[in-house]
Amino acid sequence: MTDITHPEVFHGLPVHTLPLPGGAGIPGRPPAGSVAWRLDSQYELTFEEVWADFLAQVDTSQVRALLIGPWWKEDYVTFEPVVEAIVADAPRFPGLRALFLADVESEECEVSWLEMCDITPVLEALPLLEELTVRGGGDPVPDDEHLRLSPVRHRALKSLRFESGGLPGHVVRAVAASDLPALEHLEFWFGTGWYGGDATVADLAPVLSGAAFPSLRRLGLQNSEIQDEIASAVASAPVVARLDALSLSMGTLSDAGAQALLGGQPLTHLSSLDLHHHYLSEPFVSRIRDLCVGAGVQVDLDGVDDLDLDDDEPRYVAVSE
């Protein structure tokens, strides 16, 4: 399994966690635009208290990047109050270009336990946002405490990432139906059906055709139980010809998916191909490595630890619970 951790850099800026009110570090805080600000209740305050302190202590007109850490004081609660606060105070963040919703690591809460909500209002309230990362996802029984998104039109968004142990198919379909002309980087962690990951290859059709996002250059279709099916679709997908980077990592990719990739369209124009956490036999690893090295493609073929292709153990994605 892959541990979910906090980024040290976000949107090209070092991450700085806002100290709690009265804590050390307030007098020497960095200039508002020089860091990516991370808010964390640290289980001592409500999010509303942390948010109010942030607005009071920091010149939010200069904030360029913001990460929302654990937002609950005791028991896990829905993300909806966070969305409401961001939307209500959006005019106070004219320079905000990057947002990380639910920067929570595994020791704080498992990714599939995060009680998310509809994030559409965030994109609607921040029309100049360039980067959005969303951590968390679905559940076998969808309700108001799980990730939702409606198709949106957003002219500035360049990077969109969903890190999930179970990404709902309706979210994938909403992204694919959105009008995002500036989008250059798209990444989905699909997860497992056990945690609500029910997206299909058909849901990706507008993305794979190349019609959905004309500026797309980096594509990640990752952490999937149907990684072989995705690889087979990618092998003939028109969008691949204009990609610079492709990731099919973190899932259950086997020799069948590798054979589809090797027998499909050329991948030698890519600058990077990420297949780490795979279930490939050594002959296929060697074939892909030789192809990439010969063409100058940076390739990641790190496999699953202690992999034994002869046993009957189930294959697993890197991030699920």
Write the pLDDT tens digit of every residue in 164-178: 999 999 999 999 999
Residue 62 has φ and ψ, to the nearest 5°, of -100, -5
Query: Residue 272 has what DSSP assignment?
Result: E
- Residue 203: what pLDDT? 98
pTM: 0.94
- Within 10 angstroms of residue 306's Cβ, the number of other Cβ atoms is 6
pLDDT at 43: 83
- The predicted model gives 98-106 an average pLDDT of 95
Where helices occur in 44-141 by DSSP H, the ranges are 47-57, 80-88, 120-125
pLDDT band at 146 (very low <50, low <70, confident <90, very high): confident
From 179, 153, 174, select the one nearest 162 (Cα to Cα). Answer: 174
Helix and strand counts by DSSP (H, E) for the chain:
8, 12
**For the residues 218-231, what does the mean pLDDT come to?**
98
Return phi, psi of residue 290, to 5°: -60, -40
pLDDT band at 57 (very low <50, low <70, confident <90, very high): very high
d(Cα 239, Cα 230) in Å, to the nearest integer? 13
179 with 309: CB under 8 angstroms?
A: no
pLDDT bracket for residue 144 (50, 70, 90)? low
CB 124 within 8 A of CB 93: no
Q: How far apart are CA 277 and CA 253, in angstroms?
A: 8
**What percent of the chain lies above the pLDDT cut of 70?**
92
Confidence of residue 76 (pLDDT cuts 50, 70, 90): confident
Task: Calculate the average pLDDT of the chain.
Answer: 92
The region of weakest confidence among 90-94, 95-99, 112-116, 233-237 is: 112-116
Do the beta carbons of residue 144 and residue 106 sit within 8 Å? no
Confidence of residue 313 (pLDDT cuts 50, 70, 90): confident
Q: How many residues would you count in the chain? A: 321
In angstroms and rounded to an integer, the radius of gyration of the C-alpha atoms of the chain is: 20
Residue 266's φ and ψ, nearest 5 degrees, are -60, 145
Does residue 102 surpass a pLDDT of 60?
Answer: yes
pLDDT of 24 higher than 90: no
317, 191 Cβ separation under 8 angstroms = yes
